[in-house]
């Protein structure tokens, strides 16, 4: 899933990789700007970008007046904040489409280590997606 293209070409957001950003990801609605931490591995950055895209789509009804959104430790699990959880669910749906994951499972592939590179996500994100779709009995590391 070309998440950078979705953010930039479809949604007209500007995406910048910022080394040393103090958070995993940041959305500045008034500037249509997404910053992702350049220190994180590329599969994590992809999930972070999808997560910030989710905030834009789901939570920015009036971007001009919306405050910046700061996101820490963005991955498949999710925290207590309902908007953070919604953004993680949206990001997982976007990067690991249910039909494609179920298709892989039907072909006998439910190994998160093998599937993670197929979807260009982290093993932890893949593991949670398989678990949440009922394709794996248990998740090893929780949120
Ligand atoms: Zn967030």
Cα of 22 to ligand 1 centre, how many Å? 14
pLDDT, tens only, 4-31: 999 999 999 999 999 889 899 999 999 9
Integer Cα distance of 21 and 5 in angstroms: 22
Q: What's the gap in Å between 136 CA and the centre of ligand 1? A: 26
Q: Supply the Cα-derived Rg of the chain in whole angstroms.
A: 15
Rounded mean pLDDT of 85-100? 95
Is residue 77's pLDDT more than 90?
A: no
Q: Residue with structure tokens 């500037």?
A: 31
How remote is the CA of residue 75 from the centroid of ligand 1, in Å? Answer: 10
Q: How far is ligand 1, taken at its centre, from the CA of residue 135, in Å? A: 26
Taking the CA atoms of residue 50, residue 51, residue 52 and residue 54 in that order, the dihedral angle to the nearest 10 degrees is 90
Crossing angle of helices 112-119 and 123-132, in 10° steps, is: 110
CA of 103 to the centre of ligand 1 (A): 29
Residue with the larger pLDDT of the pair 74 and 110 = 110
Mean pLDDT of the chain, nearest integer: 90
How does residue 78 score in pLDDT terms, banded at 50, 70 and 90?
A: low
Share of the chain above pLDDT 90, in %: 75
pTM (2 decimals)? Answer: 0.88
pLDDT at 143: 47
Tell me how far the alpha carbon of residue 55 lies from the centroid of ligand 1, in angstroms: 7
């Amino acid at each position: 899933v070309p998440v950078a293209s979705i953010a930039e070409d479809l949604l007209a957001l500007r995406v910048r990789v910022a080394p040393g950003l103090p958070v995993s990801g940041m959305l500045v609605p008034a500037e249509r700007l997404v910053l992702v931490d350049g220190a994180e591995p590329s599969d994590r950055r992809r999930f972070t970008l999808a997560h910030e895209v989710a905030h834009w789509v789901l939570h920015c009804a009036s971007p001009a007046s919306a405050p910046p959104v700061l996101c820490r430790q963005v991955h498949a699990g999710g925290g207590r904040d309902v908007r953070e959880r919604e953004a993680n669910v949206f990001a997982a749906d976007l990067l690991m489409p249910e039909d494609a994951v179920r298709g892989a499972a039907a072909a006998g592939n439910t190994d998160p280590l093998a599937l993670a590179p197929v979807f260009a996500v982290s093993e932890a994100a893949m593991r949670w997606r398989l678990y949440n779709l009922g394709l794996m009995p248990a998740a090893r590391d929780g949120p």
